[in-house]
Amino acid sequence: MRVTEGTLLGGRVKYRQFEAGHRSGFEPVLLAAAVPAKAGERVLEAGTGAGAGLLCLAARVPRILGTGLEIDHALVDLANENFRINGLEDISAVVGDAAAPPVLIADHIFANPPWHDPAGTKSPDDGRALAHHAAPGLLAGWIAGLAPRLVSGGSFTLILPVSELPAAIVALAQKHGAMTVFPLWPRAGQPAKHVLVSARKGAKSPARLLPGLVLHGPDGITAEAQAVLQDGAGLAL
């Protein structure tokens, strides 16, 4: 498969992805910005694809120990190539299913799960269909499968369409607390299409709904969104 050469975070990160199939958007960049990792901590990204999320997180937080879990063998190879060309020796991708992951322990887990209705029209491209379409119960299965891999007090962060928020809350509430919902507003005054959801394993703090982030204004991307998408700033959830 042909590979395209590109960058993330305004050129700070080299990024290769397949020309056909799933193409990374803003989601992994915003997701990585919300992970509260510190240097030396272990992070696990489920459904890592070509590694965009881990690449952006590593650009913001040096010396993380990262593992990307991906079911597509070709994407695992490409992700590992991306980690290599960016000099990230402590990050690697492995083949595995997020619903039944290998034995890995993490201080932080994050994911951008497939969410399109499986009854809808699928892309003729197998890779794109796999990345986008969710089998029934996939989100709950991912959360249940990954939760045992998270240390007590560790964070679980997801980026999801708003339609998946109720299912995420129910699934996360089984073992997690201190839940935080962070809306991503396309423009001021418009309904949010996506949300970031974060929770802590075993925490008892009440849930919070934060003001969120407005992505676009009259003149294009807002300064606040630019700081994340181009400059690599974090988001405080």
Question: What pLDDT, on the 0 to 100 scale, is given for residue 149?
Answer: 97
The type of residue at 107 is: D
Categorize the per-residue pLDDT at 20 as very low, low, confident or very high, splitting at 50, 70 and 90.
Answer: confident
Does residue 131 register a pLDDT over 60? no
Categorize the per-residue pLDDT at 119 as very low, low, confident or very high, splitting at 50, 70 and 90.
Answer: low
Query: Which residues are paired to 65 by β-bridges?
Result: 42
- Of 14-28, 41-55, 189-203, 214-228, which range is least confident? 14-28
- Residue range 191-209, pLDDT digits in tens: 999 999 999 999 999 999 9
Distance (Å, whole) CA 202 – CA 60: 27
Q: Model's pTM, two decimal places?
A: 0.90
CATH superfamily to which 28-229 belongs? Vaccinia Virus protein VP39 (3.40.50.150)
Question: What pLDDT, on the 0 to 100 scale, is given for residue 83?
Answer: 98
Which uninterrupted H or E stretch holds 217? strand 213-217
**Between 126 and 93, where is the model more confident?**
93
Question: What pLDDT, on the 0 to 100 scale, is given for residue 127?
Answer: 44
Domain boundaries, the chain: 28-229
Does residue 122 register a pLDDT over 50? no
Rounded percentage of the chain residues whose pLDDT exceeds 90: 87
Tell me what the mean pLDDT of segment 87-115 comes to.
96
| Distance, CA of 149 to chain centre | 16
Question: What pLDDT, on the 0 to 100 scale, is given for residue 21?
Answer: 81
* Phi-psi label, residue 24: left if phi above 0, alpha if psi -120 to 50, beta otherwise: beta
Polymer length of the chain: 237
Q: How many CB atoms lie within 10 A of CB 32?
A: 31
Question: What pLDDT, on the 0 to 100 scale, is given for residue 115?
Answer: 67
Distance (Å, whole) CA 122 – CA 70: 20
Categorize the per-residue pLDDT at 22 as very low, low, confident or very high, splitting at 50, 70 and 90.
Answer: confident
| Distance, CA of 231 to chain centre | 18
Distance (Å, whole) CA 110 – CA 174: 17
CA distances from 140 to 118, 150, 167, 168, 170 (A): 15, 16, 7, 7, 8
